[in-house]
Structure 1
Amino acid sequence: MAGLQETFEKLMGKISDAAVDFTELEVMTFTGNVNGLVNTTGKIDWGALLQKAASATDGSTLHLVAATKLQLDGDSFHYRTNAKPEQIARLDELLKLHDESVRHSAEARQALITFMSDSLIKLTNK
Structure 2
Amino acid sequence: MGKSNEIFRSELSKRKRRLIALDTYSKDEMYHEVIWVDLTLRVRLWAIDNGFDAFVYKNTSEGNGEDSFVTLQSKQTSEPVEELVFDREKYLDIVGPIFPEYVSRISRGPSGSEMQTVPHVFWAGQDPVSFWR
TM-score range, shorter chain: under 0.3
TM-score between the two structures when normalised by the length of structure 2: 0.22
Greater strand share, structure number: 1
TM-score (norm 1): 0.23
Q: Which has the higher helix share?
A: 2
